[in-house]
Amino acid sequence: MGGTYLLTASETTAAVTEALRAGYRHVDAAEGYATEAEVAEGLRQSGVPRGDVFITSKVYPTDSNMLVKDCDAVIASCEGSLAKMQMDSFDLYLIHTARAGEKRVEQWKGLVELQKRGKCKSIGVSNYAIDHLEEIRQAGLPMPAANQLECTRSASGRRCCVT
C-alpha cells in the first residue's frame, strides 16, 4: 500500500485496513511517522494473517532531541517499534536517512545485529547516496538488501546505486 507518512492515527488504521482487504500485501511504516501502532491495528482489523503481509519499518537516525543514535539506540528503537506493533520481527527494516554523519556505519552495525537476533528478516537503508553505501562496503560489513528511494522532482538526479 505504500507509506503511512502524513496520515493521522485514524486515517492510518483505516487506510491499512482497507488496503489489505483490497489485496495489498506490503505496508511501509516508520518510527518517524509515529503511526506504527495504528499500522498494526489496521493489520489486525483487516483479518489478513501477519504472515501474508510484508511489513517494512524504518529507524530515524536521530532521537527527539536531534542527537544522533548509536548502535545500541538503533537496536532499542527497533525493539520499541516491534513492541508498538506487537510483532516479533520486521520483514524489512531500514535506516530512514543518511543524516547520521560519522555514526552511519555504527548505525548499520546495529541493523546487522538486529538481523542476527532475528528481529529483521532483511535490512537496508533509505535515501542513501553512493558514498554512503561505499562507507558500509569499506567497513567490510554486509551490504544493504535495499535502498528505498524517494522518487520526486526534488530528489531527482541523486546518484544512489553501487555495482
Annotated catalytic residues are: 33
**Contact criterion met (CB below 8 Å) for 138 and 105:** no
CB-side neighbour CA atoms (13 Å) of 150 = 13
Nearest to 97 by CA among 52, 41, 59, 44: 59
C-alpha cell at 28: 511501509
Residue that is written with C-alpha cell 482497507 in the block: 18
